[in-house]
Chains A and B, each alone.
Chain A
């Protein structure tokens, strides 16, 4: 137990020292949220305010950055450095290493989400959802799915540069074609069709439903099915292809 706690503490400490991860989780989404909120904060989308729609949206961007950069990219960097190989020479169980990575991922998501909610509340006076439990549930489910995608990235990319390239290539579609930052209705029909292949779209929709207290309605079903399928495929793929060490 002591080993697990110390290792988790170390992962967390490394997280706070990694500039790229901190930027993509705490700086970039907060700046984008403030920028877009200042421009479009008064808009209304049916029964949803701008903030009902884009608090979950920007938290979706944090999910993506946590999955791709905090987990996927960092695992590739640590593996390339031989960190996991060295740990394999100790009695530390691989499950503890895995647990520490997930803890770091959840911390990034929860802290980033709290930051967005606080910006919305104190900078724009937006009310916090009255359905926080539903929102939390949708956030946890979506996070796990994106962490699985992070491990898929770490299974595919053997080098830091490849993982970085995958992250950046995925970033723009995830940000702008998922409904996380701009309304999908405003996109040309071709891009709207493309958005159906962007996993973040389903996470954002599920979290928007959670935020509005509609998580357990039919409108969440398809999003949950798609995310669940990505999670299952991601886990199976990672079990088959993920390696702690490069031979």
Chain B
């Protein structure tokens, strides 16, 4: 039986002036998958994710999420997806609880805030300013905000960047919980060990192009010798192909 495709990207491009950030990427993500996007800095991962989230418009190509065109059916779609940008991107002087309530009010369908607060272990920090929290807690707040509308698809742009191992593990635990609830998650990350553990499939993006995609095992099998880890995949495919020394 063919699985339901919830994200379909066809030949999408995006340029900033003369810089071609994304050059003809096509991919599809199935319902309930945790889909990783890996690649070196500046490879176009964030631009790709932001186009899928509907916060940037593609120059050409088509993107459909949950059967909805991201440009044509923008408003309907935004009720159904949850997003976390690379930076926390909240008002400078907002407290955790205020931010959660603010975003909670934007949606028709919502999940209980108490449940989300419990899920993300934010209870002790509700009255603290987001900007005064550690990087890990800021990211957890941003992730909690991404969950306020009980989204069917969750986009996470490098949620573990710059975090300590424990904070990273906590974030991946939440991702795992979301997966168990049947949500589809698209995540860009440099966290190769966790990619190998948690991602069903992975796209390797290099210089704005889709270099390879498949399950972690399939990508590892493509390594010289057919053996190794996702760390080796990243080094071989994403870094060395890009002409950057690790």
Chain A residues near B (Cβ < 8 Å): 2-3, 5-7, 10, 13-14, 17-18, 77-78, 81-83, 85-86, 88-92, 245, 247
- A13 vs B75: C-alpha distance in the bound complex, in angstroms? 27
Closest approach, in angstroms, between the C-beta of B30 and any C-beta of chain A?
22
- A60 vs B98: C-alpha distance in the bound complex, in angstroms? 34
- A17 vs B121: C-alpha distance in the bound complex, in angstroms? 27
Closest approach, in angstroms, between the C-beta of B185 and any C-beta of chain A?
15
Q: Which residues 93-107 in B have Cβ within 8 Å of A in the complex? A: 93-94, 98, 101-103, 105-107
Closest approach, in angstroms, between the C-beta of B197 and any C-beta of chain A?
27
| B12 contacts partner chain A, Cβ-Cβ < 8 Å | no
> Would you call A2 and B105 a contact (CB within 8 A)?
yes
Most buried by A among B53, B75, B85, B91: B91
Closest approach, in angstroms, between the C-beta of B83 and any C-beta of chain A?
4
Task: Say yes or no: A18-B75 contact (C-beta < 8 A), given A86-B85, A88-B55, A90-B107.
Answer: no
Most buried by A among B53, B89, B108: B89
- A136 vs B98: C-alpha distance in the bound complex, in angstroms? 34
Chain A's interface: helix, strand, loop or mixed, by majority?
A: helix
- A81 vs B90: C-alpha distance in the bound complex, in angstroms? 7
> Would you call B105 and A14 a contact (CB within 8 A)?
no
Per-position contact with A for B47-64: 1 when CB-CB < 8 Å, else 0? 000100111100000000
> Would you call A83 and B89 a contact (CB within 8 A)?
yes
Closest approach, in angstroms, between the C-beta of A10 and any C-beta of chain B?
5
Q: Kindly list chain A residues whose C-beta atoms are within 8 Å of the C-beta of B98.
A: 10, 13
Q: Kindly list chain B residues whose C-beta atoms are within 8 Å of the C-beta of A92.
A: 106
> Would you call B85 and A89 a contact (CB within 8 A)?
yes
Closest approach, in angstroms, between the C-beta of B198 and any C-beta of chain A?
23
- A108 vs B75: C-alpha distance in the bound complex, in angstroms? 32
- A15 vs B56: C-alpha distance in the bound complex, in angstroms? 28
> Would you call A7 and B102 a contact (CB within 8 A)?
yes
Residue in B56, B81, B89 whose CB lies within 8 Å of A86: B89
| B179 contacts partner chain A, Cβ-Cβ < 8 Å | no
Q: Kindly list chain B residues whose C-beta atoms are within 8 Å of the C-beta of A81.
A: 87, 89-92
> Would you call A82 and B89 a contact (CB within 8 A)?
yes
- A96 vs B90: C-alpha distance in the bound complex, in angstroms? 17
Closest approach, in angstroms, between the C-beta of A5 and any C-beta of chain B?
8
Q: Kindly list chain B residues whose C-beta atoms are within 8 Å of the C-beta of A78.
A: 91-92
| B79 contacts partner chain A, Cβ-Cβ < 8 Å | yes
- A6 vs B106: C-alpha distance in the bound complex, in angstroms? 8
Q: Kindly list chain A residues whose C-beta atoms are within 8 Å of the C-beta of B85.
A: 82, 85-86, 89
Question: CB-nearest residue of chain B relative to A9?
Answer: B102
- A7 vs B99: C-alpha distance in the bound complex, in angstroms? 10
> Would you call A77 and B92 a contact (CB within 8 A)?
yes
> Would you call B94 and A14 a contact (CB within 8 A)?
yes
Q: Kindly list chain B residues whose C-beta atoms are within 8 Å of the C-beta of A247.
A: 16, 56
Q: Kindly list chain A residues whose C-beta atoms are within 8 Å of the C-beta of B31.
A: none
| B168 contacts partner chain A, Cβ-Cβ < 8 Å | no
Task: Say yes or no: A18-B93 contact (C-beta < 8 A), given A3-B106, A88-B55, A89-B85.
Answer: yes
Closest approach, in angstroms, between the C-beta of A149 and any C-beta of chain B?
23
Q: Kindly list chain B residues whose C-beta atoms are within 8 Å of the C-beta of A2.
A: 105
- A78 vs B89: C-alpha distance in the bound complex, in angstroms? 8
Q: Kindly list chain A residues whose C-beta atoms are within 8 Å of the C-beta of B88.
A: 82
Closest approach, in angstroms, between the C-beta of B77 and any C-beta of chain A?
9
> Would you call A14 and B92 a contact (CB within 8 A)?
yes
- A118 vs B48: C-alpha distance in the bound complex, in angstroms? 55
Question: CB-nearest residue of chain B relative to A5?
Answer: B105
Q: Kindly list chain A residues whose C-beta atoms are within 8 Å of the C-beta of B55.
A: 85-86, 88-89, 245
Closest approach, in angstroms, between the C-beta of B15 and any C-beta of chain A?
10
Residue in A10, A17, A82, A85 whose CB lies within 8 Å of B102: A10
Task: Say yes or no: A91-B91 contact (C-beta < 8 A), given A6-B102, A10-B98, A86-B85.
Answer: no
Task: Say yes or no: A86-B106 contact (C-beta < 8 A), given A10-B98, A91-B78.
Answer: no
7 extra interface residue pairs, beta carbon distance < 8 Å, beyond A6-B106, A82-B85, A245-B55:
A6-B101, A77-B92, A85-B89, A86-B90, A90-B78, A90-B103, A92-B106
Counting from the closest, the 10 A-B pairs by CB-CB distance are A82-B89, A6-B105, A86-B89, A17-B93, A89-B83, A91-B78, A88-B55, A90-B106, A3-B106, A92-B106
